[in-house]
A and B are shown apart, each in its own frame.
Chain A
């Protein structure tokens, strides 16, 4: 880190540093004021206060006034403080199965990164891509997407990013003017985004949405069910993305042979796979196999935590590696999100809200599907996908209940759509990392990203219309 002195006028500095305090004061006053009011007709006092907590968290998640994890903690302590439910019940939400599933998945991803296995896989996927510029783009997309099937997409992006930087430097791609440099970083970012929706491991949002479903007694979705439901969407988006990147941006380079030597040199530096890598590879295959075939029987979390125990038994990772590299905050956020969703459900606040504000504007389940997916895609451009899930899924499930729609449809629609953010750096970590390379300008990305978002939305609707019914998931008439 480097020290810089902010020399702007002091008033501007104060506003830029302290604007949060007046906003917090205002929010605190609003909660205090709301707390003293009578609940609207048809809503219980607990339900009214639960709605108050939900709205506060909504503001905090959207504005990021507090880190997402801290808002999650607030969501757990606010219900007992406002008398919505006893503290014991509120804190019990932290012990729900999806939280432990995600914890296990994150630990496995950290182990993949730390052992170098993910880098080795990525380099081997990239190796044969240096025959032509277009092929390199395809291989970068493929490596990013395939690895995002088994690791969270931000971990994949963090691992791929330095490799793409090395390749860009070796190809002498200038951050200012190289169109091909832009393509490579977008291929990485969008590859991760598309791959991230394929399984429950690509983004923690799916597990969160499934957790919300379970808490609302709406059943569950297995690893295999999710993956099969998303298959056409992933394939179509992958192909479209490849054509969009290679057609929309000009390929201002004739050969990428230099990239080959860079990749070969990286592979040489890695040396032979060590025993930890081999063990981890086998463990991942076994874990995925178990999630697919025994997920329902033993529980997703049990399998992921068992895999973690095995990791430690064979000393593939040390605890200090996890302390440094794990996104522990996300786990806290999930506990809070599940707590909020549950209190909205148990107090009837979600139902009341949807009756008052949502249902009058919707007249069919397809309208609901259209609205939820579009809203999720739009929100995901400005918010963390998990925050979108935490906000939209509880409301969506309440509406679905009114229409007699299976709440799983809401989970499929929102959890997939909230992962499809392509344009803005604040959307997902892969996109943010791509921007940090210096190769991307927002004005150059916004049009192809909007096209990707539009095609993603339409493909999701088509998948829901034609593919999901084959799997027994019906959106309705």
Chain B
């Protein structure tokens, strides 16, 4: 039988074809089909519009769904209907789908409409859109709260992740997001993650935690394709990298263990570089999130992509093995349907997940969730202090 983790990577890489006899609408507003693979692995997969290239065919038999793999194997899967919430609107008439994207129990929001990935011309599976995101109507923190409340009526949400987008201010985008965080804190009982640019000084990191943020992403871009060119660009890159690592390391001391994360985009750099970056981050107490976002088939960038699912699985196994040997909690990335999470890498390795898997499963229970939220609040209450400037 196909390895489940490898299957998830393959689905993210190839997409699926849809049989004729499938419910409508099959996809969410961003063209992704939500499936739950055996062992509970959630995946949001794109429909391969080119028709024949994907080896995976989604079909229905009565109420059951199956993935046919190249006509040889049939794997039972669960299809999750797209959320009705996406179609609803806030009191100021903004569609929920224009405000947020739901990935399992994780909600992604770009208040600034400036997704770096989307703006680069690639389709962003994370925020569910591409360059079009900049065309979305502006929305307020109040709209966001309403949108989350609408989604919460339909499904459980644990984490709301706000992205600052690309900013070049000393604060790394924290100030801009402060009012959003405070509005969410005021009305909702969820954990808040921020996806930011590392600030110039560490006191901004203290402030980020104190304002009510539970987890932090500073995305890493450690591989410099022009590294051998030398000169000023290289020096700037090295300085940027050093500051990024310093900020990550400091944040890992401030935030709960495992709550400082960094996306590493796999596939645009040699896999050895990605592996080295994983080690670099874990050594500093940071959880690498390996974003497996292959450019869709037919795009110009597809040819530059080096990480086929088969090649990438070794990297995911390495990430899993490195992480479970530490005391860093990997459960901040759970039920995440657009990447293969650290713990999902266990299907690619023989190493035992130790207590990490049990802890993750516990946190998904009602009591575990309440405990997790309560502990996050208590920790902040205890650790944050105001001192004279």
Contact = CB atoms under 8 A, between A and B. Distances in A.
Contact of B384 (A5, A10, A14): A5
B386 A5 contact: no
A470 interface: no
Nearest to A3: B210
A1 B388 CA distance: 5
B389 A2 contact: yes
Contact of B385 (A3, A10, A14): A3
Contact of B386 (A3, A10, A17): A3
A4 B385 CA distance: 5
Contact of B387 (A4, A7, A14): A4
Nearest to B254: A5
Contacts of A285: none
A17 B384 CA distance: 11
Contact of A7 (B210, B253, B388): B253
B219 to A, nearest CB: 22
B207 interface: yes
A6 interface: yes
B25 to A, nearest CB: 46
A53 B226 CA distance: 77
B382 A1 contact: no
Interface in B276-302: none
Interface string B354-388: 00000000000000000000000001001111111
A309 B263 CA distance: 68
A3 B203 CA distance: 8
Q: Which of A4, A5, A14 has the most CB of B within 10 A?
A: A5
A7 B202 CA distance: 14
B246 interface: no
Interface string B234-261: 0000000000000000000110000000
Interface in A1-49: 1-7, 10, 13-14, 17
B383 A7 contact: yes
A354 B379 CA distance: 49
B203 A2 contact: yes
Nearest to A1: B386
B206 interface: yes
A17 B389 CA distance: 21
B253 A1 contact: no
A2 B383 contact: no
B383 A3 contact: no
A2 to B, nearest CB: 4
A189 to B, nearest CB: 20
B379 A6 contact: no
Contacts of B66: none
B209 interface: yes
A6 B386 contact: no
Contacts of B384: 3-6
A298 B211 CA distance: 57
A19 to B, nearest CB: 13
B380 to A, nearest CB: 9
B389 A10 contact: no
Contacts of A5: 206, 209-210, 254, 383-385
B382 A6 contact: yes
Given A5-B206, A5-B209, A17 B388 contact: no
Interface residues of B, number: 16
Contacts of A7: 253-254, 383
Contact of A2 (B209, B254, B379, B387): B387
Q: Which of A3, A4, A7, A10 has the most CB of B within 10 A?
A: A3
Nearest to A7: B253
Contacts of B387: 1-4
Q: Which of B253, B385, B386 has the most CB of A within 10 A?
A: B385
Contact of A6 (B207, B383, B388): B383
Contacts of B386: 1-4
Contacts of B209: 5
Contacts of B206: 3-5
A40 B17 CA distance: 91
Contacts of B207: 3
B388 to A, nearest CB: 6
A349 to B, nearest CB: 41
Interface in B136-163: none
B382 A13 contact: yes
B253 A6 contact: no
B203 A10 contact: no
Nearest to B389: A2
B210 A10 contact: no
A363 to B, nearest CB: 51
Contacts of A13: 382-383
A366 to B, nearest CB: 47
A161 to B, nearest CB: 14
A298 B382 CA distance: 54
Contacts of B210: 3, 5
A6 B209 CA distance: 11
Given A7-B383, A10-B379, A17-B382, A1 B254 contact: no
A367 to B, nearest CB: 46
A250 B379 CA distance: 49
A308 B389 CA distance: 36
A476 B209 CA distance: 66
A394 B206 CA distance: 49
Contacts of A4: 206, 384-387
Contacts of A1: 386-389
Contacts of B253: 7
B201 to A, nearest CB: 12
A20 to B, nearest CB: 14
Nearest to A436: B388
Interface in B192-228: 203, 206-207, 209-210
Nearest to A17: B382
A5 B387 CA distance: 10
A1 B206 CA distance: 13
Contacts of A3: 203, 206-207, 210, 384-387
Contacts of B385: 3-6
A310 to B, nearest CB: 37
Closest 5 CB pairs of A and B: A3-B210, A2-B389, A1-B386, A6-B383, A5-B254
Given A2-B203, A4-B386, 6 more contacts: A1-B387, A2-B388, A2-B389, A3-B207, A6-B383, A7-B253
30 contacts: A1-B387, A1-B389, A2-B203, A2-B386, A2-B388, A2-B389, A3-B206, A3-B207, A3-B210, A3-B384, A3-B385, A3-B386, A3-B387, A4-B206, A4-B384, A4-B385, A4-B386, A4-B387, A5-B206, A5-B254, A5-B383, A6-B384, A6-B385, A7-B253, A7-B254, A7-B383, A10-B379, A10-B382, A13-B382, A17-B382
Interface of A: 1-7, 10, 13-14, 17
